């Protein structure tokens, strides 16, 4: 059983930056593919970024390519989401998620473990 705790959310002006962290406990971190998802009010949860267990394979949704960067430090059991050039439409609750076998996925249904979420608000 893996427990995930996100941190780093907050209020930032458009064009600013934030770095989200997600720390895992209860499993061998490198065995898990990790993902970041977000959910804005009144909208469905959507994929943001994913990274394989080794960190070698990464993917992003088109709307954040060139602005966001996912990374992981397996020694610290932590995955990061560096968010630059933030836009008001990035406002959402951001969740990290883990799935077994080190394989990444863009599909939320393939993740078994979820954090509680952290609020990101971007003002215009």
Contact between 2 and 27 under an 8 Å Cβ cutoff? The reply is: yes
Distances (CA, A) of 10 to 25, 42, 52, 86: 24, 20, 27, 12
Compute CA distances 37 → 45, 49, 75, 124, whole Å: 7, 7, 23, 22
What is the structure's pLDDT at 96? Answer: 98
Q: What is the pLDDT of residue 117?
A: 97
Q: What is the pLDDT along the chain (124 residues), one digit of tens a residue?
A: 899 999 999 999 999 999 999 999 998 999 999 999 999 999 999 999 999 999 999 999 999 999 999 999 999 999 999 999 999 999 999 999 999 988 889 999 999 999 999 999 999 9
Q: What pLDDT does 15 receive?
A: 98
């Amino acid at each position: 059983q893996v427990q995930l705790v996100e941190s780093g959310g907050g209020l930032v002006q458009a064009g600013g930056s934030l770095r989200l962290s997600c720390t895992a406990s209860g499993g061998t971190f490198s065995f898990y593919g990790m993902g970041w998802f977000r959910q804005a009010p009144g909208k469905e949860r959507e994929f943001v970024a994913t990274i394989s267990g080794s960190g070698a394979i990464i993917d992003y949704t088109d709307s954040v390519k060139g602005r966001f960067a996912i990374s992981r430090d397996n020694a610290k059991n932590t995955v990061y989401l560096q968010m630059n050039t933030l836009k008001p439409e990035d406002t959402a609750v951001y969740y990290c998620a883990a799935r077994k076998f080190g394989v990444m996925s863009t599909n939320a249904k393939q993740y078994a473990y979820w954090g509680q979420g952290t609020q990101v608000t971007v003002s215009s």
